[in-house]
Structure 1
Amino acid sequence: MAEFILVAGAWLGAWAWDDVADELRKAGHGAHPLTLSGLADKQGAPVGPRTHVRDILDEAERLDPRDVVLVGHSYAGIPVGQAAGLLGDRLAHVVFVDADVPVEGESFASCWWQGKETFEAALAENDGVWPLDTAGFDGQGLSGEQIARFASGATPHPGASLTEPAELTRPLGDLPATYVKCLLDGEEPMDDVAEALKSDRWRLVEMDTGHWPMFSRPRELARVLHASAPR
């Protein structure tokens, strides 16, 4: 059985994985939801260059498992993808859940649909953080109760992590990886993901739900993660 390190995207902490982690543990796996610095119960912790990559590596070192499955959702795909390249033979698999993936020299802000400059200007207007935008919940398969749970636990996301250029020590296509595409958030993977999916070490799994399947379809997501574990 594998040891899963679960990292949620913007605004979220370890708590977002509660339902998924329970399902993984029932299946006999270790499940270790991780809060990144500056968020949730670590709100106020300093965030500088590669802090979130270091958070993930520190958790792996603390657990010291042999078969690590890193799971990165949304923004967290960027630090997870970088950390995966540094884990060596301890890495069993990476799962990107409707996630951004790291591109050498590019940041989360680089791919913002309105442009990097617009995103960075919005961060500056909000004291360097990215506040939760509840408009993004529309059409994502979330119930009112799930939205309320999300919003009540969300914290502003530290902007420094969103504008930091990625540094890759290993090509993404070399990683053993699964990409989970949530179809309510767009039917086609982003161009960088589509390129990585050309690798015979990557596979695509589609889920008929929105961008936050840990809330909308936790059991189904847990089954996908279970299938990624080494046999």
Structure 2
Amino acid sequence: MANFVLVAGARLGAWAWDEVVPYLRAAGQGAHPLTLSGLADKAGVPAGQQTHVQDIVDEVEDRDLRDVVLVGHSYSGIPVGQAAERIGDRLAHVVFVDSSLPADGEAFVSAWPDGGAMVKASIAENGGFWPLVTAAHYDGQGLTDEQIARIVAGSTPHPGATLTEPAVLSRPLDELPATYIQCLLAGAGPGSGVAELLTGKHWRLVDMDTGHWPMFSRPRELAQIFLQAAGE
């Protein structure tokens, strides 16, 4: 049995996986949606980048999970990628869902065209948090009005330090057994770093004809990709 540890992107919590979890469990697999510190039901808990990495490692170790498939969506690909190399032989696979990837010494905002200046300014103006976005932010992503309303209602401001503090990697990402899911409606394809990793023997690419939040727009299809990645 695989154990899927599911980590959603910025501003989201474990609740974002509510429609994916039943498909995984119906297939006889373990599903462990995780809320990172400072978000959703853990709002108010101080968090930096390494806090989020430790959240994931603790979930795996405290539950004594084996055959773990770590899933990171959007921002959460950064802490998931770091946690993957820290859980040793418990790891079976990593799935990056239209996500950022960690680079040693680099932060989430490092990849932004302005070096993250606008994000950092927004965080400074909002008490140390990346603020919420309006419903219009989700237009054109294959989501219904009801799904957008649900995302907006459930979102919480994101702890800014997790976006500006650097990732810490001890070995290359290309050594991880990984699947990268590209959501085609999200616009630009995988960056050069992802493209390079996909040339290696351990990584593969899967396209989804939907937007950046497939756990809402295509939960059944997404769960099936997860199961295939785990070899189920």
Shorter-chain TM band: over 0.9
Shift of 1:126: 1.1
Q: Structure 2: how far apart are the matches of 1:169 and 1:211? A: 29
Q: 1:61 matched to which residue of 2? A: 61
Q: 1:177 matched to which residue of 2? A: 178
Does the residue aligned with 2:181 lie in a helix, a strand or coil?
Answer: strand
Q: Is residue 86–residue 169 contact of structure 1 (8 Å, CA) maintained in 2?
A: no
Does the residue aligned with 1:162 lie in a helix, a strand or coil?
Answer: helix
Shift of 1:7: 0.1
Identity %, equivalent residues: 66
**Is residue 89 of structure 2 the alignment partner of residue 89 of structure 1?**
yes
Q: 1:152 matched to which residue of 2? A: 153
Shift of 1:194: 1.1
- Map 1:1-20 to 2 at 5 A: 1-20=1-20
Shift of 1:118: 2.1
**Is residue 29 of structure 2 the alignment partner of residue 29 of structure 1?**
yes
Instruction: Give the alignment's Cα RMSD to 1 decimal.
Output: 1.1
Q: Is residue 182–residue 207 contact of structure 1 (8 Å, CA) maintained in 2?
A: yes
Q: TM-score, normalised by structure 2?
A: 0.97
Does the residue aligned with 1:178 lie in a helix, a strand or coil?
Answer: strand
**Residue type at the aligned position of 1:210:** G
Q: Is residue 122–residue 131 contact of structure 2 (8 Å, CA) maintained in 1?
A: no
Q: TM-score, normalised by structure 1?
A: 0.97
Shift of 1:49: 5.0
Residues 48-81 of structure 1 show CA distances to partners (whole Å, capped at 9, x for unaligned) of: 3500000000000022122000000000000000
Q: Structure 1: how far apart are the matches of 2:143 and 2:130? A: 21
Shift of 1:196: 1.4
Q: Structure 2: how far apart are the matches of 1:72 and 1:125? A: 28
Q: Structure 2: how far apart are the matches of 1:67 and 1:230? A: 11
Shift of 1:170: 2.0
Q: Is residue 9–residue 75 contact of structure 1 (8 Å, CA) maintained in 2?
A: yes
Shift of 1:113: 3.7
- Map 1:57-206 to 2 at 5 A: 57-134=57-134, 135-206=136-207
**Is residue 220 of structure 2 the alignment partner of residue 215 of structure 1?**
no
Q: Structure 2: how far apart are the matches of 1:58 and 1:99? A: 22
Q: Structure 2: how far apart are the matches of 1:101 and 1:9? A: 12
Shift of 1:87: 1.2
Q: Structure 1: how far apart are the matches of 2:48 and 2:147? A: 32
Q: Structure 2: how far apart are the matches of 1:209 and 1:14? A: 21
Q: Is residue 95–residue 177 contact of structure 1 (8 Å, CA) maintained in 2?
A: yes
Residues 10-59 of structure 1 show CA distances to partners (whole Å, capped at 9, x for unaligned) of: 00000000110111000110000000000000000011350000000000
Q: Structure 1: how far apart are the matches of 2:212 and 2:36? A: 19
Q: Structure 2: how far apart are the matches of 1:136 and 1:112? A: 17
Structure 1 unaligned spans of 5+: none
Structure 2 unaligned spans of 5+: none
